[in-house]
């Protein structure tokens, strides 16, 4: 007995189709040389239907990044559970590049456009932060707390640098890409190590500043809202 597809599945299928045709157009024409109407035509949709799905070309890219996240996160990485954090992150990011491999020409067009368009770069940075937050968590790296934001933004910058090598690396073993990722991980480790050392060294001072700030806020609240018993 045939199963009917649900409306939700049909919508997801159309969303994926839009992502795929957008990437195909980017690979063929470059990111800046096609419009939303071209995407709608290639996906066999009207502009109103496309607008219901995605408000912009950048939103399509954001959806593609989320789809890539899911591909990486759904892979079984249990064999890496006992590996050092650095090796786990290396593996996660290489798996991400493997997921991007069918779209390398499109990625080349996007990277080129990002270099020329600060607005696009800023918009994609937000989506990249969300992606890298999950990539770091998949490697067992904390993304919250005092250093969480630094780690996530650093991972975005690091992966962007690796991506610039990868889009031109045509060797099957990706030796240049892996060498660049190795260097970037080493540099990131040194930077985070120095920041962690600085935070440990300044911890007493920050605690003192916190207590002083809490006391000042308490005095302001008391002055603004005096105790009724004391007034009486």
Q: How far apart are CA 156 and CA 103, in angstroms?
A: 19
Q: How far apart are CA 70 and CA 61, in angstroms?
A: 14
Nearest Cα neighbor of 129 from 152, 160, 163 is: 152
Cβ atoms 96, 72 nearer than 8 A: yes
What would the pLDDT profile of 124-161 be if each residue is shown by its tens digit?
999 999 999 999 999 988 888 778 888 898 999 999 99
| Confidence label for 192 from pLDDT (cuts 50, 70 and 90) | low
In the chain, where the domains are located: 8-168+180-204
Tokens representing 209 are: 């500043």
Cβ atoms 27, 18 nearer than 8 A: no
What would the pLDDT profile of 28-38 be if each residue is shown by its tens digit?
999 999 999 99
pTM: 0.79
Under CATH, to which class is 8-168+180-204 assigned?
A: mainly alpha
Nearest Cα neighbor of 39 from 26, 56, 21 is: 21
CB neighbour class for 6 (10 Å; exposed up to 12, middle 13-18, buried from 19): exposed
CB-facing half-sphere around the CA of 80: CA atoms within 13 A: 16
DSSP per-residue letters across 101-170: GGGHHHHHHHHHHHHH-HHHHHHHHHHHHHHHHHHHHHTT---SSTTHHHHHHHHHHHHHHHHHHHTT--
| Confidence label for 196 from pLDDT (cuts 50, 70 and 90) | low
What would the pLDDT profile of 46-71 be if each residue is shown by its tens digit?
999 999 999 999 999 999 999 999 99
Tokens 């079984």 sit on residue: 76
Tell me the torsion sign for CA atoms 54, 57, 58, 60.
positive
CB neighbour class for 137 (10 Å; exposed up to 12, middle 13-18, buried from 19): middle
Q: How far apart are CA 165 and CA 175, in angstroms?
A: 10
> For residue 79, what pLDDT is reported?
80
């Amino acid at each position: 007995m045939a199963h009917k597809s649900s409306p939700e599945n049909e919508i997801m299928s159309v969303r994926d189709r839009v992502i795929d045709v957008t990437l195909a157009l980017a690979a063929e024409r470059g990111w800046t040389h096609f419009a939303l109407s071209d995407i709608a035509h290639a996906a066999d949709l009207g502009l109103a239907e496309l607008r219901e799905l995605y408000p912009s070309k950048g939103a399509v890219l954001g959806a593609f990044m989320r789809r890539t996240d899911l591909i990486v996160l759904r892979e079984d990485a249990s064999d890496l559970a006992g590996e050092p954090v650095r090796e786990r992150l290396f593996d996660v990011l290489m798996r991400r590049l493997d997921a991007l491999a069918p779209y390398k020409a499109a990625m080349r067009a996007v990277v080129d456009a990002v270099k020329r368009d600060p607005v696009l770069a800023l918009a994609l940075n937000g989506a990249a932060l969300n992606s890298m937050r999950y990539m770091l968590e998949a490697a067992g790296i904390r993304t919250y707390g005092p250093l969480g934001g630094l780690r996530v933004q650093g991972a975005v910058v690091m992966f962007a640098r690796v991506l610039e090598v990868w889009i031109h690396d045509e060797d099957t073993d990706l030796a240049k890409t892996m060498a660049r990722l190795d260097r970037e991980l080493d540099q990131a480790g040194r930077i985070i190590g120095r920041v962690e050392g600085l935070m440990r060294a300044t911890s007493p001072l920050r605690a003192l500043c916190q207590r002083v700030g809490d006391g000042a806020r308490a005095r302001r609240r008391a002055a603004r809202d005096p105790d009724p018993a004391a007034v009486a």
